[in-house]
Structure 1
Amino acid sequence: MKLLYYTKTTLKGMVSTGVVTILYFVLFPILLAGFMGFLQNSLHENPLKLNDVKVKIIDNDNSNMSKALVDLLKSEDMKELVEINDEKPVLEITIPKGYEESLISLQKNEIKINKLEDGFNSSTNTLKIILDKYHKNLYVSIAGGSNESLEEISKNTIVETTNINKSKTSNSYEVMAASMIGFVISMLIFSQIQASYTDISMNVDRRIISTPISKIEFFYYDTFVSFIYSLIIIGAYIFFFRIVGISFTGPLIPLIVLLLASALMIVGISKSVLTFFGAKYGKLIGALIFSLPIIGMEAFTGEGNALKVLAPTHYISKLLNIYNLEGSISSNISDLSLVILIPIGLLVLATIKMVISRKIALSKGGKKCD
């Protein structure tokens, strides 16, 4: 009954200041993630600048004309658009068997541009247009400059673009939504170390302590309410992006697992810091934890620097990025295990510390009575 009363009263207090809570923990990070996603998208998808693409050429004809086409793609004029790379290509250009024969007989024989990865749309379309014009000029030249005889071919494209074995890559909005959650989690950890939610609930903790309840019981109640509180905030953030279709649109079960793991991380870190270091030094550690995603730059860039691995939130962001790409988290069970087991371990250690402290306090009290 005490747990139910404490949970109900605290969450009721949170709802009564719901506008401030939503603005601070949900709306602000959402707007920030959207802005940073737009900024990243603008930088990477600048329509005024064409990025060079790594291209692999497969010449199945091996004729003079196919070699001339390969030489064109390798020429100095094409270097700003095309980088020949057989190891990690983005595009695969296939010259079909019978290519030269088709050109000479003025028959259409499509060259295929196979996209192996997302992105580079502007560069791919530009390359397609260049190859189309090149081949149409060849047809005109072979036909003796007679455009009438090429009317049927000119209506159709010579180059076909297809997508094969295309590996999914997250867009900038998905990356920023997954990265910015580190900022939300660090804010929640910092605020809970300062016990701001108990101020919101009108100091209900003091009322509970005044009743016949042990400090350990209160710790359990407090941890449970913090977990529910974190679950609501993180859930609001994640499901906003899911509902509008921007990010986190994969299967529901792995997403719920990550949501629960995020809430567990928040309470595991915040409660253990308070238990071991107290309110005074706990605030300093909370400020450090809050600053780590900012120092690591992952929260605001999606990539970050070498220091990002120091932030506990990095591993949640990493798992959410994998979820966006694969729709599951099975490929990174090691990080998931860390995210779940470490907070549980911290809570267990905090409980042990409280039990030992209580026994010491009782033994000192007994000696005084003697």
Structure 2
Amino acid sequence: MKLIYYTKTTLKGMVSNGAVTLLYYILFPVLLAAFMGFFQKTLMDSPLKLATLKIQINDMDNSTMSKNLISFLESDDMKELVEITDKKANVEVSIPKGYENNIVSLKSGEITINKLEEGYSNSTNTLKTILDKYHEGLYVSLSGGSNEDLAKVSGESVIEKIDIDSKKTSSSYEKMAASMIAFVISMLIFSLIQSNYAEVSVNLDKRVASTPVTRKQYFYYDSFALFVYSTVIISGYVFFFRISGISFTGGIFPLVILILTSSMLVVSLSKFVYTFFGAKYGKVVGALIFTLPIIGMEMFTGEGNALKVLSPTHYISKLFTLYNLNGSFSANNKDLILILSISIILFIIAILKISLSKEERRCV
């Protein structure tokens, strides 16, 4: 009964501060994610300037003509549009086996342009047109300029098709929605450490003090209330994007698991810092936890720098990004296990700290 009363009182406090809670934890991050997503999409698909494509070439023919094609793509004339690389490519060009034989025999061929990242539509379509014209020139040369021979190759195009086969990637909005959830979680952790939930649950300690309760019981009640509160906040952010169809549209069960895991991290980390470091140093640690995702830049760019791995919210963002791609997190269970393990360990340490405290009775 005490647990139910405690949680009910906490949620009433949240409702009484509903406007501030909605603005601070949900509306502001949603607007920020939408703005950054739009900004990134604009940069990738700007019609004023073609973005340079980082191309990885998969030459399955390994012939003279396939090497000539690669040399053409590496030429100075193409350097403004393409950059040949083996790392972090955003487009893969596949040259099929039998490529040279098809050209020499004046048979239609097939080259695959495989987009590895979202965006770059204008540049990819331009590359498609250039490759089509390049092969048209080859066929004209090999046929001696005979239009009849060219017509035999294909009714409409010299090459049968150049596929633009996009692998499943996150859109700029999906990427920023997943990244910005780190901002929501870090704000929750920071605010709970700073105030020990005082701003949300006004006079909650006095109400609980009306009945005998040990400090450990109070810790359990407060942790459960924080867990429910965090779950409501994170769910509000996530389901806004889900209902609008912008992001987080995969299976509901793995999404709920991710939300509950995020809430566990918020509760365990905030209670650990507050219990272990106290109010004075806890505020400093809380500020550091809040600052790490900002320094890592992941929440604002979707990519971040090397420092992003220091933030615990980085692994939450990775799981939500993977969920956007596959509708689950099964391909990255290790990060889920890592977050759960850290949450459990920190929570146990906080309980041990309270158990060893001389002031076991909080209220009598």
Which residue in the other structure is 1:311 paired with? Answer: 311
Which moves more between the two structures, 77-86 or 10-19?
A: 77-86
- The residue type equivalent to 2:95 in the other structure is I
Alpha-carbon distance in 2 for matches of 1:286, 1:66: 57
Q: 1:91 to 1:262 in 2, by over 3 A?
A: same
**Quick one: distance in 1 between partners of 2:352 and 2:358?**
10
C-alpha RMSD of matched pairs (Å): 3.1
- Indicate yes or no: 2:122 matched with 1:122: yes
Asked if the contact 2:52/2:83 (under 8 Å) is kept, the reply is: no
User: Is 1:91 the equivalent of 2:83?
Assistant: no
- State the alpha-carbon separation in 2 of the partners of residues 61 and 258 from structure 1: 46
State the shift of 1:28 in Å.
0.4
Separation in 2 of the partners of 1:70 and 1:291? 46
Out of 87, 98, 105, the position equivalent to 1:101 is 105
TM-score using structure 2 length: 0.84
What is the letter of the counterpart of residue 285 of structure 2? Answer: I
Alpha carbons 1:61, 1:97 under 8 Å: kept:
no
Instruction: Provide the aligned length of Structure 1 versus Structure 2.
Output: 355
Q: Verify: 1:56 aligned to 2:57, yes or no.
A: yes
Separation in 2, partners of 1:72, 1:61: 15
1:105 match: none
Max radius of gyration: which structure? 1
SS in 2 for 1:169: coil
Residue 367 of structure 1 is matched in structure 2 by none
Task: State how far apart, in whole Å, the 2-side matches of 1:17 and 1:62 are.
Answer: 70
Query: What is the CA distance between 1:230 and its match in structure 2?
Result: 0.2
Change (3 A) 1:319 1:139: closer
What are structure 2's unaligned runs of at least 5 residues? Answer: none
User: TM-score, normalising length from structure 1?
Assistant: 0.83
Partner of 1:323: 323
The residue aligned with 1:281 is 281
Correspondence list, 1:174-253, <5 A? 174-195=174-195, 197-253=197-253
Question: Residues 45 and 208 (structure 1 numbering): CA distance in 2 closer, same or farther, change over 3 Å?
Answer: same
Deviation at 1:83, TM superposition (A): 4.7
28-37 vs 91-100, greater mean Cα deviation: 91-100
The one-letter code sitting in structure 2 at the alignment partner of 1:162 is: D
Output aligned runs, 1:149-160, within 5 Å.
156-159=156-159, 160=161
Distance between the aligned counterparts of 2:308 and 2:34, measured in 1?
Answer: 21
Unaligned 5+ segments in structure 1 are 103-107, 363-370
Query: What does 1:334-345 correspond to in 2, within 5 Å?
Result: 334-345=334-345
Partners of 2:124 and 2:257 lie apart in 1 by 39
CA distance in structure 2 between the partners assigned to 1:190 and 1:178 by the alignment: 19
Aligned equivalents of 1:144, 1:359: Cα separation in 2: 96
Tell me, what secondary structure is at the counterpart of 2:112?
strand
Deviations 1:306-330 (A, max 9, x none): 2222211111112222222333323
* Contact residue 297 and residue 308 of structure 1 kept, 8 A: yes
Distance 1:139 1:331 in 2: 45
Secondary structure, aligned partner of 2:114: strand
With 169-178 and 141-150 compared, the bigger mean Cα shift is at: 141-150
3-state DSSP of counterpart to 1:357: coil
- Return the letter of the residue paired with 2:162: T
Q: Is the 8 A contact 2:104 2:142 kept in 1?
A: no
2:163 corresponds in structure 1 to 162
Q: Which has the higher mean CA deviation after the structures are superposed, 128-137 or 322-331?
A: 128-137
Report how far residue 71 of structure 1 moved. 5.5
CA contact (8 A) 1:93 1:114 kept: no
Partners of 1:175 and 1:82 in 2: how far apart? 24
2:266 is matched with: 266
Name the CA distance, whole Å, in 1 between partners of 2:191 and 2:281: 14
Are the structure 2 counterparts of residues 200 and 139 from structure 1 closer, same or farther at C-alpha, using a change threshold of 3 Å? closer
Equivalent position amino acid for 1:279 in 2: A
- One-letter identity of the residue aligned with 1:314: H
Alignment of 1:10-89 (within 5 A): 10-47=10-47, 48-56=49-57, 58=59, 72-83=72-83
Letter in 2 for 1:21: T
CA distance in 2 between partners of 1:360 and 1:128 (Å): 72
**1:9 partnered with 2:5:** no
Q: CA separation of 1:184/1:71 partners in 2, compared to 1, >3 Å: closer, same or farther? A: closer
Q: State how far apart, in whole Å, the 2-side matches of 1:220 and 1:55 are.
A: 54
Alpha-carbon deviation of 1:53?
4.1
Find the aligned partners of 2:190 and 2:70 in 1 and give their Cα distance: 59
Distance of 1:50 and 1:17 partners within structure 2: 46
- For residues 341-362 of structure 1, give each alpha carbon's deviation from its aligned partner in whole angstroms, at most 9, with x where no partner exists: 2222222222222122146889
Among all aligned residue pairs of Structure 1 and Structure 2, give the percentage whose two residues are the same amino acid. 54
3-state secondary structure, aligned to 2:213? coil
> One-letter code of the match for 1:100?
V
- 1:148 is displaced (CA, Å) by 8.9
- TM superposition shift of 1:19: 1.7
Partner deviation per Cα, 1:225-263 (whole Å, 9 max, x = no partner): 000000000111111122222222222222211111110
Return closer, same or farther for 1:208/1:155 CA change in 2, 3 Å cut-off: same
Question: Distance between the aligned counterparts of 2:37 and 2:272, measured in 1?
Answer: 34
Give secondary structure in 2 for the equivalent of 1:90.
strand
